[in-house]
Chains A and B, each alone.
Chain A
Amino acid sequence: MLRVENLNSGYGKLHVLYDISVECGKKEIVAVLGPNGAGKTTLLNSIFGIADIYSGSIKLDGEEISKLPPHNIARRGIAYVLQMINIFSELSVDENLRISMALSKNTSPEMLDYVYELFPILKERRKQRAGTLSGGERQMLAMSIGLVRNPKLLLLDEPTAGLMPLYVNLITKKISEIRDQKEISIILVEQNVQKALEVADRVYVLVSGQIVFKGLPSELMGEKEIMKLYLGMGD
């Protein structure tokens, strides 16, 4: 599905990621964990063509995408749910979803029904201006904007950040539902280590732009030092 190899990237002269290699298979949830400033969002930005790539390769289903502009990467089946400002607050809920669907070749009207089933509150609020939604509802809409495109790969940047516990549990549950119900791979960048480990199939830990761990969630749980030093999950 997605293979990132020896990636060096950043923003202009600011080199953030050093020789990163990451893989994400079909119907797999890959969590990327790490402290603040580790380069987690830069990894997603690099995959999506927003960050500057200095060297390395990013292949989606064998096709090199590292030199493509973001709108072309989106059209190849990657959906990116940004952490902040991830909805069009001046458009209605329905318009947010409609514009996302209109530009995707893979989608179908059933995807709209699917996201409304997944998040029924959005159906109730479909005519409402998106800027008037609550924090949790906004996050549901942001994920739905990505989902209705029926992407091959969904990039989620801290989808539970700043949400109340009720929504954190709901969003986490929905992420694993999406993986189980659809042919969608997910790369999940998270600060909430516990929730990420609940849903992830595999985990990468990123520290200062380098990968210090890759493996299964159960294996990471056994790495006491990494858990304590970098993820704040000690005794």
Chain B
Amino acid sequence: MAISLTGTFASALAWSSILSLTAIGITLLYRTTRVPNFAHASFVTTGIYASTIVWVFGFHPYLGMPLGFILGGLEAVLLFYTVLEPLRRRKASIFLLMMATLSFDILMYGFLNILADMLQFEFKILSRNIYFAPIDFRIGGFQGVTLVSFVAFLITMVALQLLLYRTNLGIALRACMENPSLAQTLGINVSRMLLLSWFIAGATAGLAGALLPFYQMCNAYTGTYYIAEMFCASIVGGLDYLIGAPIGSFLLGYAKILLLSFLASTVGPDIINYMMIIPLGIMVITLAVLPTGIVSLIMRRRGV
């Protein structure tokens, strides 16, 4: 039982770390562009297929992490340049921009399915049952993805912290988040800062996607399946502060895995089919009690 409980905690750590990597981008984009980005689903799925591509070419799928990072980032840049920026210049509403991200996501979903078919026919792999846990390394009885995803999460957070608080580029990005009109009076190219934020968001989502097949079986639909949970994590943590994303992710991640584990052993394994109720339920409760998320409570106490 002790080992099982530790295993559940380790599983929750891996899932929370992966979820954080996705939620941080959603919060970042909401802060910079004010757009709830539904295309985050395809950024994650792109990461899944990045590690798959690396694997079919004979490398360890962990080496797909940098590829997932870059491809996810480039996909976000493509979305920003070809769809969002032209719409933004025409003063499109946030709702229209949000629908544009959904349309882009559907387009990418189709493209990723074509890619999955190509991989299946060309390399004779089950490209809709991608699961790397059997080839993952183990450390102290736990799957390597627990350590790798947590370290990837920590490095990402430290890098983001350094970028945003120690570099002029990062301070310019924060300036754009707070007040784009004022930022442009200082000579900041707001459009370029938005592009940077989209790259970071896509890249971290791609990185999360590259790790996901080590955690669970994945297919072209996996990103879409978890998009609601990604949004829940951002909203529960609080969309006004970047730190809200990991706080919300760890709360939801641990609540979901621990509760599921408990319910599966008491009620029965079929309860797993209803697992999305947990993050959505927590989001509803949080919004009722703290409409601006958990971080607002912390910031209020600090007098910020």
Contact = CB atoms under 8 A, between A and B. Distances in A.
A39 interface: no
Interface residues on B, range: 10 to 19
A132 B38 CA distance: 36
Given A90-B174, A91-B171, A91-B175, A100 B182 contact: no
Contact of A88 (B178, B189, B304): B178
Q: Counting chain B CB atoms within 10 Å of each CB, which of A88, A91, A98, A104 scores highest? A: A88
Interface stretch (A30-38, A68-76, A225-233): A68-76
A40 interface: no
B242 to A, nearest CB: 11
Interface of A: 48, 50, 69-72, 74-75, 79-80, 82, 85-91, 95, 98-100, 102-104, 129, 145, 149
Contacts of A100: 186
Given A90-B178, A91-B174, A91-B178, A99 B185 contact: no
Interface of B: 168, 171-172, 174-175, 178-179, 181-182, 184-190, 304
Q: Is the interface of B mostly helix, strand, loop or mixed?
A: helix
Contacts of B187: 71-72, 74-75, 103-104, 149
A73 to B, nearest CB: 8
Given A48-B185, A98-B171, 9 more contacts: A69-B184, A74-B185, A74-B187, A79-B185, A82-B181, A85-B182, A88-B179, A89-B178, A91-B175
A71 B184 contact: yes
10 contacts: A50-B181, A69-B184, A71-B190, A74-B184, A74-B186, A85-B179, A91-B171, A95-B171, A98-B168, A99-B186
Contacts of B175: 88, 91, 99
